[in-house]
Amino acid sequence: MPPKKQWGGRFRKEHDRLALLYSQSISFDWRLYSCDIAGSIAYAQMLGRCGIVTKTESNKIVKALREIRREIEAGKFRFDVELEDIHTNIEAALMKKVGADIGGKLHAGRSRNDQVALDMRMYVRDETLTIADLIRELQTSLVKLADKNSTVIMPGFTHLQHAQPVLFAHHMLAYYEMLRRDEMRYLDCYSAANVMPLGSAALAGTSFQIDRKMLAKELEFDDVSLNSMDAVSDRDYLIDFLSACSTLMMHISRLSEELMIWSSPEFGFVELDDSFATGSSIMPQKKNPDIAELARAKTARVYGNLMTLLGIMKGLPLAYNRDLQEDKPCVFDSVDIVKSTLQVFARMIATLGVCGDRMREECRCGFLNATDLADYLAKKGMPFRQAHELVGKIVNHCMAEACLLEDLSLETLQGFSPLFQKDVSQALRLDKVVNARRVSGGTARSNVLRAIRQAKKDLQL
């Protein structure tokens, strides 16, 4: 005999087996067990304090719920698909332990609708803090890599074309900044999720005189929801969370793309540690950046999860609709991807080999100091637009002669403009070009070292 449904009283037929399998959520929402039990314990204690159940009944319910949590964590609990979801599975186990006369009282004034909303808010709160910690681990790897290679100069790119020389450390710290914004977004998500919906019941609130503020305090919520219909149907905080996940994965995907390019023989800027690369089943020489490639692909999955939830929400009338059950796979999948990606990238970046000599060699290509030659003329009094045009002509001359700007004699340069003096050779030196960018946020080594010190302070390294 299948377990009795919570909602079975007005039905004459058993639920069709295929309909049951199609509509069940225990296959994925089991991971909410800890949040669900914590919410039920707080609710039982509140019912006892408010006199809706006796103190003895409240204590028995709380004791049984704690036993159920231990059983789940020990792997001794059997989740039953017949019971549809995590909430009903735990309630059924509770009734076996304390009897239906006592266990059945826990649901007074409470609906699965506000249980779901509560559990997801608690789950997101926990995961945002975990992800924020993992972000800092990746930031730590980036900062340590930057510090270790603080003198390495590399070509900076725009349009994937050689542009101006920058410090490799400056490039790594750009990702540190992206991740710093990501952490702030997750902390904003925590605040958005930290509003307690319990007490909203199905949609209209409850006639039981429950103490919502007591519940909020016990469950460490900053506030309680102000509208019961909004509370059970709101998924804005999940959309915010998935948006933060998408932005974070976008940043990691950009880093992945650069690691793939830089580790290619054509670039040879970095060397991936063997433990974070794979080979080919047919080509013995291959060393493939699979982790970076997978992160790039998993980013698309996280984007898809955000689009899925937006699609679910776009046409829903108030209040609760079963469509909302499908929010969980989107969130759970994104959480798993984000956490595993941050963990593996923190370790991969920590072992990354940096080929500084190769990077410096490539700085001799592409006339990376052309802007500085134009700046030199502008500082001598020539309007920058005129200087820009003149240096363009000098670059054309160098291309025709197959030489670099720094190879040109002073006499040749003065043939283009009498403003060129002996000090021009210093202005074109690679280290001078980099260190001239002393403006706040620029790539000058003094700036970069200051940024590294600040990052270490922020990360408590």
**Residues carrying an active site annotation:** 159, 280
Instruction: Give the dihedral sign, CA 233/237/243/245.
Output: negative
Q: Which DSSP state fits 316?
A: P
> Based on the number of CB atoms within 10 Å of its own CB, is 46 exposed (0-12), middle (13-18) or buried (19 or more)?
buried
Instruction: Give the tokens for residue 292.
Output: 């970076």
Give the list of residues 6+ apart from residue 165 with CB closer than 8 angstroms, or none. Answer: 153, 154, 155, 156, 363, 368, 369, 430, 433, 434, 443
Are the CB atoms for 126 and 333 separated by under 8 Å?
no
Question: DSSP letters of 399-426?
Answer: HHHT--GGGS-HHHHHHH-TT--TTHHH
Dihedral-angle region of residue 199 (phi above 0 means left; psi in -120 to 50 means alpha; beta otherwise)? left
Is residue 357 helix, strand or coil? helix
Q: Where are the alpha helices (DSSP H) in 10-111?
A: 17-23, 26-29, 33-49, 55-73, 86-98, 100-103
Task: Write out the two tokens for 249.
Answer: 């994965």
How long a stretch of residues is the chain?
461
Q: Tell me the CB-side half-sphere exposure of residue 302, using CA atoms within 13 A.
A: 29
Strand partners, 270: 354
What distance in Å separates the CA atoms of residue 412 and residue 426, rounded to the nearest whole number?
16
**What is the widest separation between alpha-carbon atoms in the chain?**
101
CA angle 339, 150, 432 (to 5 degrees): 135
d(CA 116, CA 26): 12
Q: Are strands 223-224 and 195-196 parallel, antiparallel or unpaired?
A: parallel
C-alpha dihedral over 259, 265, 271, 275, to 10 degrees? 90
